[in-house]
Amino acid sequence: MKNVIIYTTPTCVYCRMAKAFFAEKKVPYTEHDVVTDLKAREEMVQKSGQLGVPVIEIGSAVIVGFDRDAIVRALEIQ
């Protein structure tokens, strides 16, 4: 299984959708709250060029937003 990191904020609906999808598919992930973790926020911006969340890193793929199809492709699952 590829390493999965999700950068989130507590109020982000799409972040909750992504985490629910990962739970449904039993995909372990590491979550970083970019409101409280400034280092993680800097990493997220450096990787994605975005301030919007979620930013999801799967292996070498960086996905901005909850893009189910891109996530499935990056995870190589169905």
pLDDT tens digits along 18-77: 999 999 999 999 999 999 999 999 999 999 999 999 999 999 999 999 999 999 999 998
CATH number at residue 53: 3.40.30.10
Pairwise CA distance, residues 54 & 58, whole Å: 13
E strands within 1-78? 4-8, 30-33, 55-58, 61-64
The radius of gyration computed from the CA coordinates of the chain, to the nearest angstrom, equals: 11
Q: Provide the number of structural domains found in the chain.
A: 1
Does pLDDT of 1 surpass 90?
Answer: no
Q: Domain containing 64: what range?
A: 4-75
